[in-house]
Amino acid sequence: MRLLIITTFLLFLSTISKAQISRQEYIKRYQLLAIDEMNRSGIPASITMAQGCLESGNGNSELSRKSNNHFGIKCKKGWKGKKVYYDDDHKNECFRRYTSVEESYIDHTNFLMDNPRYAELFKLDHTDYKGWARGLKKAGYATAHDYDKRLIKIIEENKLHRLDLRMTVNEMSSFEQKSMGRNVSSSLTINPYKSHEVIKMNRIKAVVAKKGDTFEMIAQELGLNDWELYNYNDRGPGYKPVANEVIYIQPKKNKSKARATHRVQEGESMHFISQMYGIKLSSLYRKNNMDPGQQPIPGQIISLQKKKR
């Protein structure tokens, strides 16, 4: 009886370990990683996603499961990272081994950016997925004679070109459902890779922007709407934060509890002061009897609590 239980348990574990994930599940799982890399490099997210699907068998290949190598990148000369050996075009070839899927996606970007063979591709627009697919084939990324056609087919069958517009699969579905007159949830996919530590500034929750961040990407990661971040930070649509900028993820206050006034320094704007103290920009203007858009001068005393008389 005990032997039967152990055998059943081992079979159960074996079934779990061999469970395959679908292409749609793979895309949902790693789409934001592809968009992040597009923001960093200009490589179309659709191309990265399609290559990941094709080269890793939707994350089911042995190389991707055991070594986190989702793009079939071989060691090549100069590779100093971890290695693993598989039979491919030749017997016992050296492939790169990564500690995470994220590391594989990042190295894929670096591999294309650092290799002169692919330099011409970066002259193409990030929405020209067909040009990128043909360019990858021409540059010899893979030996398959129809490599470009395979990538294009994956992109068009799964509408991955919308990733190049920074539209996630959930948003694609939402857009299509709304176009058919259906009510759908506005919840967004959470990015498990580009995590931002939530801090508190002026007793308000905030994050610190990283290079390449957009309000849309931060909102997706934190399960917010992008318009909320624009409103919370008094920014217009399309604004892109710079590295190390504090981004509030909750509404700012109407006044400061810590200080009553602020003396303006050279180069400081009303928006800068509102972010520094976590005060709504409109409230800051009202307290100081200033018109929206008007800027302070160095040495001016700005009220942070009471309205000036």
State yes or no: pLDDT of 157 exceeds 80.
yes
Mean per-residue pLDDT, 195-201: 79
Mean per-residue pLDDT, 103-127: 92
How far is Cα 195 from Cα 102, in angstroms, rounded to an integer? Answer: 12
Q: What angle do CA 139, 137, 41 make, to 5 degrees?
A: 70
The pLDDT mean for the chain works out to 84
Backbone angles phi, psi at 184, to 5 degrees: -135, 160
Mean per-residue pLDDT, 147-171: 85
How far is Cα 269 from Cα 306, in angstroms, rounded to an integer? Answer: 19
CB-based contact 45:31 (threshold 8 Å): yes
The pTM of the full predicted model, rounded to 2 decimals, is: 0.56
Mean per-residue pLDDT, 171-183: 46
Alpha carbon distances (Å) from 146 to 49, 52, 54, 89, 99? 18, 16, 12, 17, 31
Q: How many H-runs (helices) and E-runs (strands) does the chain carry?
A: 12, 7
State yes or no: pLDDT of 50 exceeds 80.
yes
Tokens 């009202």, residue located: 286
Mean per-residue pLDDT, 77-93: 86
Query: What percent of the chain clears pLDDT 90, i.e. is strictly above it?
Result: 51
State yes or no: pLDDT of 253 exceeds 80.
yes
Q: Residue 179's pLDDT band (boundaries 50, 70, 90)?
A: very low
More confident call, 149 vs 4: 149
Q: Residue 13's pLDDT band (boundaries 50, 70, 90)?
A: very low
Mean per-residue pLDDT, 33-45: 88
Q: Which helix (H) or strand (E) holds 38?
A: helix 23-41
Q: Which helix (H) or strand (E) holds 154?
A: helix 147-157
How far is Cα 63 from Cα 240, in angstroms, rounded to an integer? Answer: 37
Backbone angles phi, psi at 193, to 5 degrees: -105, -50
* Burial (0-12, 13-18, 19+ Cβ within 10 Å), 70: buried
Task: Looking at 42-125, list the stretches that DSSP marks H as alpha helix, in order from N- to C-terminal side.
Answer: 45-56, 62-67, 101-114
Q: Residue 12's pLDDT band (boundaries 50, 70, 90)?
A: very low
State yes or no: pLDDT of 10 exceeds 70.
no
- Highest mean pLDDT (candidates 133-142, 200-209, 234-243): 133-142
More confident call, 136 vs 188: 136
How far is Cα 22 from Cα 54, in angstroms, rounded to an integer? Answer: 12
Using alpha carbons, select from 265, 295, 271, 296 the residue that is nearest to residue 283.
Answer: 271
State yes or no: pLDDT of 148 exceeds 50.
yes
How far is Cα 56 from Cα 178, in angstroms, rounded to an integer? Answer: 33
Alpha carbon distances (Å) from 283 to 29, 119, 255, 280? 41, 50, 8, 5
State yes or no: pLDDT of 49 exceeds 60.
yes
Q: Residue 194's pLDDT band (boundaries 50, 70, 90)?
A: low
Around Cβ 300, how many Cβ atoms within 10 Å?
Answer: 13
All domains of the chain, ordered by start, with CATH? 24-66+106-170 (1.10.530.10), 199-248 (3.10.350.10), 261-303 (3.10.350.10)
Query: What percent of the chain clears pLDDT 70, i.e. is strictly above it?
Result: 84
DSSP E strands, the chain: 82-86, 93-97, 199-201, 204-208, 246-248, 261-263, 301-303
Q: Which amino acid appears at position 199 of this protein?
A: I
